[in-house]
A and B are shown apart, each in its own frame.
Chain A
Amino acid sequence: MLKIEKRAVDSRWMQLGSPLIATVLTLITGAVLFAALGHDPFNALYTFFVLPVSDLYGVTELGLKVTPLLLCAMGLMLCYQAKVWNIGAEGQFVIGALGGGIAALYLPSLGAASLWVTLLFGILAGMAWSALAALLKTRFAANEILTTIMLNYIALNLMLYAVHGPLKDPSGFNFPESAMLPANTMLSTLIDGYRLHVGFLIALLAMVSVWVVSARSMIGFQIKVLGEDERAAAFAGFSTNKLVWYVLLISGGLAGLAGIAEVAGPVGQLNPYVAAGYGYSAIIVVFLGRMNPVGILIASALLALTYMGGEMAQMQLGLPKSLTGLFQGMLLFFLLACDLFISYRVTWSQMKRVEV
C-alpha cells in the first residue's frame, strides 16, 4: 500500500523538482478543464500562457505588473526569514502611494528633482506605516499579524478619505480622484509608447540589494538566526528588537516605494483603486518563490502571467473570468501539494497477509 514517510534529509532534488511537477500537473489539469469546456486544450493553454507575452507589448506589460509584486515581495522575504509575519505590505503600499502622491501634488516644483522627492516621500511614508507595527511589537509585544492587518484597513480608508475629501481634484466633478500628477514627478517610461517604466529597474536593483543584505551581510545572518531560533539569537547577543525594526522598516519602505511607483507610473493620480491587492499577492509570491530572490522573481512573473492569461482567454476564447482564479488556485494547490515530497517520500509497502 501507499505510505508517506519522512525523509531523513530534505531532498534537494525535489526542491527543484516540485515546482516543475506542479507546473506539469497544472498544465495537464488545465488541459482537461479546457477540453471539458469544449476548447482545444493546446490552443487554450497557448492563449493562457504564451500569447500574453508573445510580443513586446505583452512583455513590457508583464514587467509592469511584476514591478510592485517584486518590490513588496522582497521586503516581505526579509520579514519572513526573521519570522516576523508582516501581512501589512498592502497598507504600506497604499500609504506610500498616498504620501508620495501628496508630495507630488502639493510640494513646490523642484524640476527634475521632484521625482526623487516624490519617491522618497513614498518610501518614508511606507516606513512610517510599518514602524507603527514595529513599535507595537517591540514595545507592547502586540502580534504583528494582527496589527499589520488592521493597519491595512486604516491605510485603505485613509486613502478613501483623502480622495473623497481634501485631495479631490477641484475640477473633477466631485469624483473621488486627485488631480493628475505633474509631469516632472512621473517615472519615465523605458520604451516610447509602452507603459513599462524606470520603476522596473529600481525593483530589480532592490531585489539584488535585498539579496546581498540577506545572503552576504551580518544583518542577513542575524535575521536568519532569529528566524530559526529566537533564543539562539538572544544567546548570540543579537538584539531581537533591533532586527524586528530593521526588517519591518525595509519591508515598509519597499512596499511604499511600490505604491508610489504605481502612482507615479501607470496610474498617474491618486484614486481608490491604487491598491490593487499587490501587497497581498506578494505574500503568495514570497512562499511560491521559496523565500529566494530568483524564485520570487519567477513567481511574480508567473502570477502576473496568470492574470494576463485570464484576460487573454476572455478576449480570445470567451472563457469566463472565474477561470483565472481557478487556474491560480490550482497552481498554488499543486505547488503546496508537491512540496510534500521535499520532506516526505511515498513508498510502497507490501501488506502482510494475516492468515486466519
Chain B
Amino acid sequence: MTLSINKKMAAFSVVAALGLTACGKAPETAEAPAAAPEAAAETAAPLKIGFVYVGPTGDAGWTYAHDEARKALEAKYGDKIETTYVESVKEGADSERVIGQLARTGNDLIFTTSFGYMNPTLKVAGMNPEVKFEHASGYKRADNMGTFFTRAYQGRYLTGLVAGSMTETNVIGYVASFPIPEVIRGINAFTKGALEVNPDVKVKVVWASTWFDPAKEREAAETLMLQGADILTQHTDSAAVVQAAEAKGKFAIGYHSDMAVYGEKAHLTATIHNWEPLYTAKVEAVLNDTWTSEDLWPGIAEGTTDLAPFADVVPAAVRELVDAKKAALKAGEMRVFDGPLLNQAGEVIVAEGETMEDGALLGFNQYVQGVEGALPKN
C-alpha cells in the first residue's frame, strides 16, 4: 500500500515537473513574437481586415471562394494590409462574439460572409462606429455597414443551358439548401436556361436543409439519381454532390468554385464566385478614405460571377451557345428573367417584352415552369 502511494507520488512529481519546465521555459521564447508586431506597427500601420466564414476554408465551395479572394488581397497589397479570418463560425449568438472580437482587436474593415450574420453584424456595427462592415447577402445596412452579393443566378442560367442540352433522361437533379429567395432564384434561372434549349426537361429539387453537410448533400444527390436524374447541380457548400455523380457515372455542375477535381468525368462546368474585384474595390475605398455604405449587386459583367472552364465532353455547339448568351448578359443586351416567364401553374410572372426588376428578384418565392414539386412554404 505504502509502496503504491510512493510510486504514485513519484509519478505525480514527474508530471508536475514536466508541467513546471514547460511553463518555466516558455516565457523567454514568448518575448519574441510579442515584440515583433509592435515593431512592425511603428514603421507602417497596415489596414487590418477581418473575415468571418460560415464553413471551413477547405478546397472548394462558398467559404473557399471568399478565402481565395482574401489571399488575393494579401498578395496584391502585401504589407499595406493584414488579414485575419475565423472559419466555421456558427450563425446566431456565437457569430456576434467573433465579429465583436474582430472589431475590438483593431480590424478596420470586416467582411461577414453569410446571411445569418446580418443581425449580429448590424449590432456590432452599432457599437463600433469607427469600424467598417461589409455583409454578404443581407438587406440591412447602416452608416458603417454595407451589403454585397453577386448575381450568381446569371451563372445558373448559363449552366442550365449546358444541362438542358446534355441531359438524356430529361431529368436534372438540384440539391438545394433552404427555400430562401437566393436559392429559389438560382433554381429558377437554371430551369429557365435548361427549358430554353430543351422543352421536355424537368428539374427535380431535393432540400438538404443544410448549407454544409457533405453526408446529407450526398444522400440528396443519391435520391435524385434514383429518380432518373443524369445531371446534378447543387446549392450547398461542399463538393459532395459532384463526388456522388462521379461515383455513379453521371454528370454534375458545380457551384461556388471550380469543382473539377472532385469529378474528373462528371464535372461539366460550374457557376463560380470571384469576390476579388469586389473586395479589392472595398479595400481600395477604405485605403483612399472614400468608403461608403452601399448595396452592391454585381455579376457577370463585373466578373464576380463566372463559369468554370468547360469539360471536354461539352459539345462545341453548346459552348458556342453559352458563350454567346454570356456575352449578351455581359453587354446588357438581355437579362436572365426577360419575359415571357411562366410559373408552375402556367400563369405569366413576367410578360413578353418586360423583365423582372431587382426588387422582385430579391423576393423571388415561387418556382417557374419546369421545376417539379411544390415549394416548401406555409
Contact = CB atoms under 8 A, between A and B. Distances in A.
B119 A180 contact: yes
A31 interface: yes
A98 B199 CA distance: 44
Interface string B143-187: 000000000000000000000000000000000001111000000
B91 A273 contact: yes
B116 interface: yes
Contact of A193 (B7, B91, B94, B127): B127
Contact of A321 (B3, B34, B56): B56
Contact of A173 (B90, B101, B139): B139
Interface size bucket, B side? 35 or more
Given A27-B22, A166-B378, A173 B97 contact: no
B227 to A, nearest CB: 23
Contacts of B94: 65, 276, 307
B86 A314 contact: yes
A266 B90 CA distance: 14
B157 to A, nearest CB: 20
Given A42-B30, A173-B363, A307-B94, A315 B84 contact: yes
B290 interface: no
Contacts of B89: 311
A40 B127 contact: no
Contact of A311 (B26, B101, B181): B101
Contacts of A262: 93
B130 to A, nearest CB: 15
Contacts of A160: 209
A311 B90 CA distance: 11
Interface string B319-353: 00000000000000000000000000000000000
Given A173-B363, A311-B97, A274 B92 contact: yes
A329 interface: no
Contacts of A165: 377-378
B26 A266 contact: no
Contacts of A27: 19, 22
B365 A273 contact: no
B86 A269 contact: no
A284 interface: no
B287 interface: no
Interface in B21-45: 22-23, 25-27, 29-30, 32-34
A322 B87 CA distance: 10
Contacts of B378: 164-166, 168
Nearest to A315: B84
A40 to B, nearest CB: 5
B115 A175 contact: yes
Contacts of B288: none
Contacts of B363: 173-174
A154 interface: no
B285 interface: no
B138 to A, nearest CB: 8
Contacts of B362: 173
B100 interface: yes
A176 B26 contact: no
Given A273-B116, A347-B4, A57 B19 contact: no
Nearest to B105: A315
Interface string A24-50: 110110010000000011110010000
Nearest to B53: A321
Interface in A172-231: 172-177, 180, 193, 195
B302 to A, nearest CB: 22
A43 B26 CA distance: 8
A268 interface: yes
B293 interface: no
B248 interface: no
Given A40-B26, A315-B105, A348-B7, A164 B376 contact: yes
Nearest to B95: A273
Contacts of B247: none
A40 B30 contact: yes
B65 to A, nearest CB: 18
A276 B93 contact: yes
A109 to B, nearest CB: 22
B15 interface: yes
B213 to A, nearest CB: 13
A308 interface: yes
Interface string A283-327: 000000000000000000000000110011011001011100000
A173 B181 contact: yes
B292 interface: no
A174 B139 CA distance: 11
Interface string B298-310: 0000000000000
Contacts of A6: none
B4 A345 contact: yes
Contacts of A180: 119
Contacts of B376: 164
B139 A57 contact: no
A43 B116 contact: no
A339 interface: no
A319 to B, nearest CB: 11
A262 B86 CA distance: 23
Interface of A: 21, 24-25, 27-28, 31, 40-43, 46, 57, 61, 64-65, 160, 164-166, 168, 172-177, 180, 193, 195, 262, 265-269, 271-274, 276, 307-308, 311-312, 314-315, 318, 320-322, 345-348
12 contacts: A31-B22, A42-B27, A57-B101, A164-B178, A172-B139, A175-B180, A262-B93, A267-B92, A271-B116, A276-B90, A318-B84, A321-B87
Interface of B: 3-4, 7-8, 12, 15-16, 18-19, 22-23, 25-27, 29-30, 32-34, 50, 56, 84-94, 96-98, 100-102, 104-105, 115-116, 119, 127, 139, 178-181, 209, 362-365, 376-378
Given A40-B32, A42-B30, 13 more contacts: A43-B33, A61-B100, A164-B178, A168-B378, A173-B139, A175-B139, A266-B96, A271-B92, A273-B92, A276-B93, A311-B97, A315-B86, A346-B4
